[in-house]
Structure 1
Amino acid sequence: MKAIRLRLNQNLVNYKFPVSFQLKETYPLPPYSTVIGMVHNACNYTEYKPMLVSIQGKYHSKVNDLATRYEFKNGMTFDASRHQLKVGDFGISVGVSTIELLSDVELMIHIVPENQYLIEEIYNSFLKPREYLSLGRREDLVVIKEVKIVEIINEKLRGENLELPFNYRAYIPVTVIENEKVLVEGEISEIEYKGTMYKISKNYELINYGTKKSPKIFRKWNKIDVHYVSNVVSLRRKEITIDEDKYMVFLA
């Protein structure tokens, strides 16, 4: 099985936490759906291509910044005394909000398309992108440090244990830790689930909650239960997923 390994840098970025409003919080690493969206945009795909993704990385610090906030209510007509923008007959209020940003982000991402014939196409789309690429908000540009096709293998280690790169953290699916394929060190032994647990969006289905004549289409997101952890060490004689350069891979 082959994968595209990306090494990316970003300056200031927000991977929006979907339920934060007053303070627009950020995930510590980009969600699977955000990475998959970047891949589809880079390749100019107009329909979903199933793929597995592994996400690892680090950031230096968090800072807060001001951002423009747009508010509107469905069906509310424009009122000059309360709205700053008019769109058709409807009004939009413009204000200020606070946004959380990660600084000096460094990422290592593995992308494994279900259709392995797409490997070269995805590789070339990142090697020679048709436009600048972003991850997070549209303005969150990425600097591509490496694009490489690597072999992904499942292997039982007999030598030294493998660790994450220095100061890196990763999204690890719950099943990987529950099956004791890796060990999270430096945690309190009495705690069963180590690290921070997230439900990370990956892809969605379009579901009609209305009728055939009056459809109401909503996105139903498929979410992955993960641990966001550091100090991850592989266990000997346990089969783990690695790439050809001995980097651990946590596909979801």
Structure 2
Amino acid sequence: MNKKRAVRLEIYQNLVNYKKPTSFQLKESYPLPPPSTVIGMVHFACGYKEYHDMDVSIKGNFNSRVYDLYTRYEFAGASYEDKRHQLALLSNDGKTYGVTRGVATSELLVDVNLVLHICPKNQEEVQEIYENFRFPKEYISLGRREDLIQIKNVEIVELEEEYEDDDEIVDKRMNMYVPMEKIENREVESKATVYTLNKTYTKKTIKKDTEVRNWERVKVAYCVAEKTSVGYTDVYKDSNKEIVFLI
């Protein structure tokens, strides 16, 4: 059976938004952070400047949702007009561009508890990741920059692949992301919401001095606690006998 080492994180957040990239006027939130957000947090905490390949497992819960107002700035590259724009920006080319300032709504999750497993492809990085969360150099956020995390526990665990020879409830407390192929192959039984989430990206130059991100996306099922079971297949379990789905 396969064995890996991973960093297991237990974190808490008071009010948080894991923004859906297609939401604008109402800044909607995913129910759990997408893989790209978690991986970005790890890179920030460790000070990585280049991408370090890793898989993550994400599960958690929250108590409720609320909606809050925030100031929104829109910049469309249009010339400044006194009666149209609230702010003016002077550019290096001598032109003045207009910025519109307004109010928009953000969806916030309340009292979020997460359990994350971070499994780098280079297993020698496990200790480094652990140390950077055990003794962070500055406050770490997950979601928006202001969405700070409270680290309740961090530890290094062994992930061991085991054959599950009977149906078992995956988790009785926390919802989770499960790779969609496990649902399609009937390895995991659950009534779930399907999401296509960003994981990693590469930069592509489309013209001089202009780059865009090409995202690698993963299809996952957002599965509900107590209504998700797994059986008669190989699964990863950590040192605490928690089932782990790496994405």
TM-score (norm 1): 0.90
Q: Which has the higher strand share?
A: 2
Which of 49, 55, 69 pairs up with 1:66? 69
Q: Distance in 1 between matches of 2:210 and 2:46?
A: 30
**Which residue is 2:215 aligned to?**
221
Structure 2 unmatched ranges of 5 or more: 91-95
| 1:122 paired to 2:125 | no
Letter in 1 for 2:181: T
Fraction of identical pairs, as percent = 46
Alpha-carbon deviations, 1:144-187, whole Å to 9, x = none?
01101000111013578242142x11111111222332222xxx
Contact conserved, 2:167 with 2:229, CA < 8 A, in 1? Answer: no
TM-aligned CA deviation for residue 209 of structure 1? 3.2
Distance 1:46 1:73, change over 3 A: same
Contact 1:54 1:110 in 2 (8 A): yes
Match of residue 110, structure 1, among 103, 113, 117:
117
* 2:6–2:126 Cα contact (<8 Å) kept: yes
Matches of 1:98 and 1:174 in 2, distance apart? 31
* Residue number in structure 1 paired with 2:230: 234
2:187 to 159, 163, 181: 181
The alpha carbon displacement at 1:83 in A equals 2.0
Root-mean-square deviation (Å): 1.5
SS of residue matched to 1:195: strand
Structure 1 distance, partners of 2:113, 2:216, is 26
User: Contact 1:85–1:92 at 8 Å: present in 2 too?
Assistant: yes
Q: Which amino acid aligns with 1:82?
A: R
Pick the aligned partner of 1:202 from 187, 195, 199: 199
- Partners in 2 of 1:246 and 1:165 — Cα distance? 13
Q: How many residues align?
A: 237
List gaps (5 residues or longer) in structure 1: 185-193
1:160 to 1:180, Cα distance in 2 relative to 1, 3 A: closer
Looking at structure 2, the residues matched to 182 and 174 of structure 1 have their Cα atoms a distance apart, in angstroms, of 9
CA displacement at 1:16 relative to structure 2: 0.4
The answer to whether the 8 A contact 1:162-1:246 is kept is no
2:83 corresponds to which of 68, 74, 81: 81
SS in 2 for 1:125: helix
- Deviations 1:18-39, CA, capped at 9 Å, x for gaps: 1111111000000100001100
> For 1:1-252, what aligned pairs fall within 5 Å after superposition?
1-74=4-77, 76-88=78-90, 89-158=96-165, 161-166=168-173, 168-184=174-190, 194-210=191-207, 214=208, 216-230=210-224, 231-235=227-231, 237-252=232-247
Cα deviations by residue, 1:206-250 (Å, 9 ceiling, x for unpaired): 12334xxx3642111110001101122221x32111111111111
The TM-score with structure 2 as length reference comes to 0.91
Task: Please list the CA deviations of residues 81-135 of structure 1 after superposition, one character each: whole Å capped at 9, or x if unmatched.
Answer: 2222223222211110011000000000000011111111110100010001110
